[in-house]
Structure 1
């Protein structure tokens, strides 16, 4: 690994989404090492091992990795598993910028739902030192790529300024 290589952890349980995000990141032609975690528990294990330079985080994650061959369901699905990871990072003093990439435009809540801008505001208030940005992933459109390109460029500029 070179000093210029960026260590990225993608925390996402859907393989097609992981593949699309990784292909996009590789198209940026920036030296990087990409690792994956597919559940809350595996993400927390990886964060205990080492802190990446950047995390790309989904909000909806299972508790444990899904073992299709073994017939395990992956624990209870968590609509806000990403928040659990952010809270654990904060509690464990793990400092790393996080870009949330979610497939949801709105999140169900007791008494209604909150849209992506509402979630963004809540996350910025609760995790001001971790949250870099929140963007909506939709495999049908390239909007997420443009948003991720801007967020990644901003992350790189902030990193180079340190």
Structure 2
């Protein structure tokens, strides 16, 4: 083989290797960029979900404070209609708090515990309305426990406050009814 032909083939081989390396490098870079873009989108979605979660948690907490304030409006000696309206308002506020809490992402334990605590609170409001001769101390206490649960979640505490005795008892009764 002549020298010129050999030099040409070596040049052609070098060009093929160079083009192959360029294509391979481009493919690797493109895959890396796609992976990085996917990770950035996932992080952005997680930040957005956390932000939305904090917003609805704040709304739920505001509703719980509103519920506690409502408990303080109780007056001994209210008429039957006034007591019924008082309970109806309390349940509407509790429903709004529960609705907002239901929208908090990645908070299954909180939602379950808050649902139990609100169930106890609703029971307290109903009992308070039908026993018109006392102040609604239990309603205030139970509402405070709901606030403590949501506040612990929002602070990022390691664990939620322990269930109250009434929560545990009502949960056990509800589960017993479901087993029937």
TM-score (norm: length of structure 2): 0.23
Larger radius of gyration: 2
TM-score (norm: length of structure 1): 0.24
The structure whose residues are more often helix, as a share, is: 2
